[in-house]
């Protein structure tokens, strides 16, 4: 389990141990976009409406390094016909931009993400050929593993100064 690569399900376990409102229908929506031209899915929520919870839920559902069946067995997604098809079947890259803000200067954040994700990929898959381009390195990882990678990015708009009335709905 890495910081960015395959973070496991511990974040969602903590959420489920508290008061949890079932938002697992979101998984059905994301599953419907896999292998389609709509494979890039943006899920936006107002401030304080569970973006981090949703991201941790998606990590727990897709991450192949853990068994999350008990976490989802009593949620609405478990009734979906395609529920088991993607459950814990993919490599996950999880970028919580809040944490990255504290790790790298504004001008170095993209390079920092590339370096750290590639380092974790290389640790997980020593046979990975790292090339200059980040996307090409990810493509090499897909070729080696035969797995799809699910990238989940939690992006707190307010921390990036995007809290104008036009964008936040105020």
Burial of residue 61, with CB atoms counted within 10 A of its CB: 0-12 exposed, 13-18 middle, 19 or more buried? buried
Model confidence pLDDT, tens digit, residues 109-140: 889 999 999 999 999 999 999 998 899 999 99
What percent of the chain stands above pLDDT 90? 60
Buried b (16+ CB within 10 A) or exposed e, 142-154: eeebeebbbebeb
Alpha-helix runs per DSSP H in the chain = 10-16, 25-33, 51-62, 69-72, 83-86, 97-103, 109-124, 134-145, 165-168
- 167 — pLDDT class (breaks 50, 70, 90): very low
- Mean of the per-residue pLDDT values of the chain: 86
Mean local confidence (pLDDT), 34-50: 77
Model confidence pLDDT, tens digit, residues 44-101: 766 667 788 899 999 999 999 999 999 999 999 999 999 999 999 999 999 988 888 8
**Measured between alpha carbons, how far is 121 from 6 in angstroms, rounded to an integer?**
10
- 147 — pLDDT class (breaks 50, 70, 90): confident
Q: Tell me what pLDDT residue 3 has.
A: 85
Model confidence pLDDT, tens digit, residues 7-26: 999 999 999 998 888 999 99
**Measured between alpha carbons, how far is 41 from 121 in angstroms, rounded to an integer?**
23
């Amino acid at each position: 389990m890495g910081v960015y690569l395959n973070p496991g399900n511990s974040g969602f376990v903590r959420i489920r141990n508290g008061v949890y409102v079932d938002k697992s229908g979101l998984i059905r929506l994301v599953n419907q976009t896999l292998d389609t031209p709509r494979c890039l899915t943006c899920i936006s929520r107002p401030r304080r409406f569970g973006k981090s919870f949703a991201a941790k839920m998606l990590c727990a559902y897709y991450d192949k390094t853990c068994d999350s069946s008990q976490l989802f067995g009593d949620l609405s997604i478990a009734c979906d016909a395609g529920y088991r098809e993607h459950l814990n079947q993919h490599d996950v890259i999880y970028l919580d931009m809040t944490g990255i803000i504290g790790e790298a200067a504004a001008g170095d954040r993209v390079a920092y993400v590339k370096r750290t994700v590639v380092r974790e990929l290389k640790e997980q898959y020593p046979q990975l050929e790292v090339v200059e381009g980040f996307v090409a390195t990810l493509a090499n990882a897909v070729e080696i593993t035969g797995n799809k990678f699910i990238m989940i990015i939690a992006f707190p708009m307010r921390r990036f100064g995007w809290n104008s009335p036009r964008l936040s709905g105020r």
